[in-house]
Structure 1
Amino acid sequence: MSDAIADAKRALRAELRERRNLLSEAALETAGSGVREQLDALVEQLDVRSMSCYLSIQTEPDTREFVVEAVRRGIRVLLPVTRADGLLDWAVATDEGEVAEGLFGLSEPTGELLGPIAVNDVDLLVIPAAAVDASGMRLGWGRGYFDKTLGSMEGCPPVYAVVFDTEVLDEVPQDLHDQPVTGVVTPTRTLTLAPTAR
């Protein structure tokens, strides 16, 4: 990655992180409710039986309630578990939502770990992002876990990134290893940006 691209990514992430940190509790609650409605509609539209999602942190639109409700409706939901080698293991979500602290202080599911290829059988991937642009290029938070996962999948299913409405941008800085997404879910809308993620 060139220094210019790395610097541009760092600057944009810092700006987005600062904006998220300034959001009120009420704004975060409203965003979480909207994202849950959008994800419910997407799952129904795509007739999803199994999917991956993630457990949101405090400054992200909430995905936790969606995960619990999806499990209760009989959808098999895989949640990511970070590994030191930069890959993701997966664990099946339960409606109790038991979690422990993971590598980077993030909440991660407890229970039996499935290897990185467990996600190859899902109908939909829902992943976090800092921003997504109009072409479907996703800016992550810099660790590369989801880019590696998407880049290694054959026959990748639809991939939707979850962001706030203001984080759908005209363009984000990108490098060769960055992976595009099929679409984006915000608190007010779901946009399909490309027919497939790759």
Structure 2
Amino acid sequence: MPEKSLLRSELLAARGLLSGENVRRAAEVLARRALALPELAEARTVAAYVSVGREPGTRALLDALRERGVRVLLPVLLADNDLDWARYEGAERLVRAGRGLLEPDGARLGPEAVLEATAVLLPGLAVDGRGMRLGRGGGSYDRVLSRLAGAGAEPALVVLLYANEVVARVPEEPHDHPVRAVVTPEGVRRFGGAQGFSAAPRA
């Protein structure tokens, strides 16, 4: 089994052991940590996603950003695995789509809409000490990151993970892009210009 596939299987198995209460509590802390990030506190437009299953939860964070007046863009999966985008208008406006995903039911804004975001929350399974992210392998966000790079856009790239998913090393390919920060229930770790781990007291 290729190295990336093996690591994905191990991490997904670990997530599968989490209870609903584990996921709910982690989501509450993740929302508080993420909302305190300057990159999100100062953002006018944030591209994000709706967590499903035992993914680190984003629902509370999406609602809090929207309440702040932030324009939140959510992905809409296209037939070729690329991503369109639509505005988040609340949980009641989400519909179940393919692969068990939840997507907004509003107007599609086009794949280029992500270029308007000053921060992008990326789904992932792991991040390593260099900020390299391991995704699920579908390639959708590789296209998004390539689109951002091609347009010269440099939004803050942020991943929400569980603490055990910050690993020593993620297998890397030439098209992979490092992220700026990872948020876990235990704290925030930054990469690039601002290294280190910042842990806030539990509320």
Same fold (TM over 0.5): yes
Q: How far apart are 1:105 and its partner, in Å?
A: 2.0
Residue identity over aligned pairs, in percent, reads 37
Q: How far apart are 1:166 and its partner, in Å?
A: 0.6
Alignment partners' CA distance in 2, 1:95 and 1:111: 11
Q: Is the 8 A contact 1:83 1:103 kept in 2?
A: no
- Which residue, 64, 77, 81 being the options, matches 1:86? 81
SS at match of 1:60: coil
Runs of 4+ in 1 over 6 A off after TM superposition: none
Alignment partners' CA distance in 2, 1:48 and 1:159: 12
Alignment partners' CA distance in 2, 1:62 and 1:123: 21
Matched residue type, 1:149: V
Which residue is equivalent to 1:159?
A: 157
Q: TM-score, normalised by structure 2?
A: 0.88
Q: How far apart are 1:95 and its partner, in Å?
A: 2.8
Larger mean Cα displacement after TM superposition, 129-138 or 26-35:
26-35
- Which residue, 76, 81, 98 being the options, matches 2:93? 98
Q: TM-score, normalised by structure 1?
A: 0.90
How many residue pairs align between the two structures?
191
Alignment partners' CA distance in 2, 1:43 and 1:55: 21
Larger mean Cα displacement after TM superposition, 143-152 or 43-52:
43-52
Which residue is equivalent to 2:188?
A: 190
- Which residue, 162, 169, 172 being the options, matches 2:170? 172
Q: How far apart are 1:43 and its partner, in Å?
A: 5.0
Matched residue type, 2:130: S
Q: How far apart are 1:36 and its partner, in Å?
A: 0.4
Residue ranges of structure 1 left out of the alignment (5+ in a row):
1-5
Q: Does 1:77 align with 2:72?
A: yes
SS at match of 2:36: helix
Which residue is equivalent to 1:3?
A: none
Alignment partners' CA distance in 1, 2:107 and 2:88: 10
Write the deviation string for residues 138-181 of structure 1: whole angstroms up to 9, x where unpaired. 00001011111012212221100111111001101111222221
SS at match of 1:78: strand
